[in-house]
Amino acid sequence: MNLKTYQYWRIVLVAIIGAVAAVSVAIGNAYILLSAVIAGMIIIIVLRRMVKEVIADERTYTIAYKAARLSLSIVGIGMAVTGATLLAFSRDNLSATLAQVGFALLYATCGLLMINLAAYTYYSRKLGGKNE
Amino acid sequence: MPKARINNRIRRLRFDSNEMTQEELASRAGCTRQTIIALEQGKYVPSIELAFKIARAFGVKLEEVFQYEG
């Protein structure tokens, strides 16, 4: 299988999973969605193995790394600022809902930073650079 | 930190190698055609491993493909 055929089937698969997701939401059955997503992932893995050309290389990974880093900064800062702003407003207005949303955003930011720290520590150890 | 400039002669070497296509070079070097395009346009600097693979694909030394201008 060549790269173009793989990309075509991947789009078809995503469209089918999207349709199944819509149906499962409409009828209120989460198992259908879960089964479709798992089946889709397995099919994608099988299709990937059938492709003889290189799908992703070091440049692709560099792009993904830079995009992930930028996304993390934007989402992290955005959520922290929004959460803190909502908390500040909730004190003036005594709104419990605003405070809850603010706390949720700040806890999510903390979670994001913790995962980032854990991943950074893991890769830092894996890739060396520590004084012996 | 000043940006390092690494030039390459990939396009020249491709034409000298019986007009090797970007697709063929990508296949030999184990990367995508988009990476070869980016390298030829000077938009991407490869890892040392890919640089060696590209040099090997042409059957020349690394210095004949890539030149460092610090």
pLDDT in tens, B5-63: 899 999 999 999 999 999 999 999 999 999 999 999 999 999 999 999 999 999 999 99
Query: For residues B34 and A64, what is the distance between their CA atoms, to the nearest angstrom?
Result: 15
Angle made by CA atoms A44, A48, A54, in degrees to the nearest 5? 145
Among B10, B25, B28, B32, pick the best mutation site for testing chain A contact (most A Cβ within 10 A): B32
pLDDT confidence of A4, banded at 50, 70, 90? confident
Is the Cβ pair A54, B30 closer than 8 Å? yes
Identify whether the C-beta of residue B33 lies closer than 8 Å to the C-beta of residue B26. yes
Query: For residues A35 and A42, what is the distance between their CA atoms, to the nearest angstrom?
Result: 11
Query: What mean pLDDT comes out for the span A18-41?
Result: 91
More confident residue, B4 or A19: A19
Query: For residues B44 and B47, what is the distance between their CA atoms, to the nearest angstrom?
Result: 10
Is the Cβ pair A59, B44 closer than 8 Å? yes
Identify whether the C-beta of residue A106 lies closer than 8 Å to the C-beta of residue A69. no
The CATH number of the structural domain formed by B5-69 is 1.10.260.40
pLDDT confidence of A118, banded at 50, 70, 90? very high
Contacts of residue B5, defined as CB under 8 A and 6 or more positions apart, other chains included, come to: B68, B69, B70
Is the Cβ pair B35, A55 closer than 8 Å? no
CA distance A74 to chain B (A): 24
Query: For residues A48 and A45, what is the distance between their CA atoms, to the nearest angstrom?
Result: 5
pLDDT confidence of A3, banded at 50, 70, 90? confident
CA distance B30 to chain A (A): 7
Is the Cβ pair B38, A59 closer than 8 Å? yes
Query: For residues A89 and A9, what is the distance between their CA atoms, to the nearest angstrom?
Result: 49
- Say how many C-beta atoms besides its own lie within 10 A of residue A10's C-beta: 15
Among A57, A60, A63, pick the best mutation site for testing chain B contact (most B Cβ within 10 A): A57
pLDDT confidence of residue A114: 96
Query: What mean pLDDT comes out for the span A16-39?
Result: 91
Query: For residues A3 and A10, what is the distance between their CA atoms, to the nearest angstrom?
Result: 10
Residues of chain A in contact with residue B35, where contact means CB-CB under 8 angstroms, are 57-59
Is the Cβ pair B32, A59 closer than 8 Å? yes
pLDDT confidence of residue A132: 58
Number of C-alpha atoms within 13 angstroms, CB side, residue B12? 7
Return mean pLDDT, chain A: 90
**Does the pTM of the predicted model rise above 0.80?**
no
Among A58, A62, A66, A127, pick the best mutation site for testing chain B contact (most B Cβ within 10 A): A58
Query: Domain locations in chain A?
Result: 3-50, 58-126
Q: Which helix (H) or strand (E) holds B39?
A: helix B33-40
Identify whether the C-beta of residue B1 lies closer than 8 Å to the C-beta of residue A29. no
**CA nearest to A53 within chain B:** B27
